[in-house]
Chain A
Amino acid sequence: MTDRVESRSDAELLKLSMAGDESAFLPLYERLKAPLFRYAFYMTGSQASAEEVVQDVFISLLKNGNRYQPAQGDLSGFVFGIARNLIRRIRKRESVTEALPGNEALERKSRLRPGAEDLSAQVIRDQGVERVRTAIASLPDHYRQVIILCDLCELTYAESASRLHCAVGTIRSRLNRAHAMLAQKLKQTKKPQPELRASGTEECLI
């Protein structure tokens, strides 16, 4: 019975889930949850918001699942569309009430593992990650989305295209431009390394 449910398509599972079949809802959730959570996390930059998005997406999917038409694309595209709208709403809301700075940083600091590697190396790495995250967040929305889907969520061009409802060529060109912009931003934010003055040996007293 479980095998039969597992082999069903997303659209069939959705129909069964809406009819109240929990055994159909669980595999559907398992299929969609991981990429959805990662996408929401990178788009919002907050784990709490990502969790909120995942919960709301599934509720909305059950409520508005009737609107899904398989002819227009796969279910994951429909789900990502719902997630995109929710994220937009969350960002609008959070632009009014911005979270206190430092919470995320504290969380990241608590994740530091003293024994695993050198502490300073971890701090440098975290700074680098933060720099990239800020740079990605400052990109225009359509560039940020392709970077998140292709580079961070590890989706193929075709999968990203179906989620963003555009052509594969569009994804390719957007990604190229997004990488160029990102590289430029990273170059701008990179701190200039202090150059060592070539003083020669004559100043050495030893």
Chain B
Amino acid sequence: MTCKEIRAHFQGDHFAAINPLCKSAAFLEHVVKCGECSRLIEEQTELATCLLLLREGAPAMPASLDTSVLVNYRSYISQRPRSTTALPGASRTGLLGAFRWAAAVAFAVVAAGAVLLFISAQRSSVDRVSTKGRSVMAPLPLARANSQSAALEPVRKKPNSIVKSAKHATPTIPVALPENWSSSGFQALMYCDQLSCPGAMDVIRVQLPSAAVAFGPTSSKASDFVYADVLVGPDGIARGIRVVE
């Protein structure tokens, strides 16, 4: 017997060291001569003996375990939902699960689309309003009706939104309420005197459809636009209007 044969023998069966083959004459003869094989057999014998001891040392299954497993089984069967009883097949449950997932994903996609549509609709309406405002509001400088009283009045700051929307427009000039402002071409839109309309007013030039201005020039078509100066008070309410063209 050779060392190779002995190693192959141990590789095939790990409990070979305690097999009767190891007691054969040829085996023993080689082991006596070869120190390496002798050590290998010694190691393998010890390992096999220990593993056998460990295998035998395993405790027996307690009878109480059988009882508790059976009790668990019964309680599980009695407590489980009816739907599980009705659907024991694996494929059916899998299909149901897949259907639920698909429905959830579809719902999420639809909801996200609706939200996006709503947001884009909101944006477009805001854009429309702002462009309209830009075309309408074109304030022009106006000669001061009363330069002395205007110097005494503080310059009123315009709100940011208006400033942004009227980029190319010249700033409006605050004017004090003139005594005879109705005689300077403005038509009163509401009652106004020094007491009820204190402070400076802004004159803003706007573009309006001619049809909206009943007192404008009659020669223009209904689809044309007319420019008008609007006298706006500090409270933002228009006090008077004058059609320019």
Contact = CB atoms under 8 A, between A and B. Distances in A.
Contacts of B89: 66
Chain A contact residues, majority secondary structure: helix
Chain B contact residues, majority secondary structure: helix
B61 A33 contact: yes
A19 B89 CA distance: 10
Given A15-B88, A19-B88, A68-B90, A42 B72 contact: no
Contact of A179 (B47, B55, B73): B47
Contacts of A150: 14
A66 B92 CA distance: 9
Given A51-B65, A179-B14, A183-B43, A129 B90 contact: no
Given A19-B85, A38-B58, A129-B57, A66 B93 contact: yes
A132 B53 contact: yes
A62 B69 CA distance: 12
A20 B72 CA distance: 12
Contact of A34 (B61, B62, B68, B85): B61
Contact of B54 (A58, A59, A66, A133): A133
A41 B59 contact: yes
Contacts of A154: 55
Contacts of A143: none
Interface string A57-95: 011001100111100000000000000000000000000
Of the candidates B50, B72, B93, the one having the most CB atoms from chain A within 10 angstroms of its own CB is B50
B88 A125 contact: no
Interface residues of B, number: 35
B82 to A, nearest CB: 11
A187 B43 contact: yes
A58 B61 contact: no
A67 B89 CA distance: 10
B88 A62 contact: no
A20 B55 contact: no
Contacts of B46: 183, 186
A62 B43 CA distance: 45
A19 B90 CA distance: 12
B25 to A, nearest CB: 26
